[in-house]
Amino acid sequence: MQEDDMLGIRRVMPDTVVLPNGKVAILHGAQNGRAGYAKKGWAKGGQASNPNTVSLLYDPYAPVGKRFKKLSPTPIVRMYHSSACLHPTGEIVVAGCDVAAKYAGVPEGAIASPDGLLDFRLQLITPNEISLGVERPKIVTAPKIITRGRPFTVDYEYGADIIGASLVAPCGTTHSIGMNQRVIMLKVTSAADGRAVIEAPPSYLPALALKGHYLLFLLGKSRTYSEGVWLQLH
């Protein structure tokens, strides 16, 4: 029986970001120990150690046993108090690390923070699906407000088929947990000549998409996606 085991890469307190196409980026964290500060020093008491600089991408649409793949490693150690959020461009913004230089097992080649223990550097991660040269959908116009149970229209620029759309809740993350993460896949009932008709979340499932603001993305072939456009769900 095949299983998905994160390629055998151990990880505690990672940052995870759900992408508009349903894939999940798994970043940062440690290979050993637990979250929190140890009472008996940084290398004792189970304190997290051996920072994990190898990122993974989880694809729920891939066959079992092939759902994880490695991404490019990062030279910046990010563990406790790091964060990662989806940017409206579709890229991932990562930041922060508390006392990063004190963790045991910092990998060779890691670039130390210029500000001492704390790390104030930002990184922008570009998934392959929206990398330079990839043909992406482009939203031209979209409604500011959509209503549950009612279709809405989006004008777009693209040279190929639109295969879907998604709503992504605003990012709010801390301590390796993004409690507000939510990606709602939407059905596109028609898409031709630069105009797509999309079904809003159903009114009979109010918990599927809570009322509020979301980023709207259009999905293209090979699961590429557009930049996001803010709208409000009523």
| Cross-strand pairs, 30 | 12, 51
Residues 4 and 109 grouped into a single domain: yes
Query: What CATH number is associated with residue 166?
Result: 2.60.40.10
Q: Which of 73, 103, 129 is the last residue of a domain?
A: 129
Residue 194 sits in the same domain as residue 95: no
List, in sequence order, every beta strand (DSSP E) within 170-223. 183-186, 188-192, 195-199, 212-220
* Structural tokens at position 223: 């699961």
170 and 124 within one domain: no
For 103-155, write each residue's pLDDT tens digit: 778 888 888 888 888 899 999 999 999 999 999 999 999 999 999 999 999 99
Of 129, 157, 192, which residue constitutes the final position of a domain?
129
In this prediction the pTM is: 0.91
Which domain covers residue 110, as residue numbers? 1-129
For residues 118 and 152, membership in a common domain is answered with no
Task: Assess whether 209 and 227 both reside in one domain.
Answer: yes
pLDDT given at position 3:
66
pLDDT given at position 1 = 42
Regions of the chain with pLDDT less than 70: 1-3, 36-46, 160
Last residue of a domain, one of 101, 129, 157: 129
**Is 176 exposed, middle or buried (CB count within 10 Å of its CB: 0-12, 13-18, 19+)?**
buried
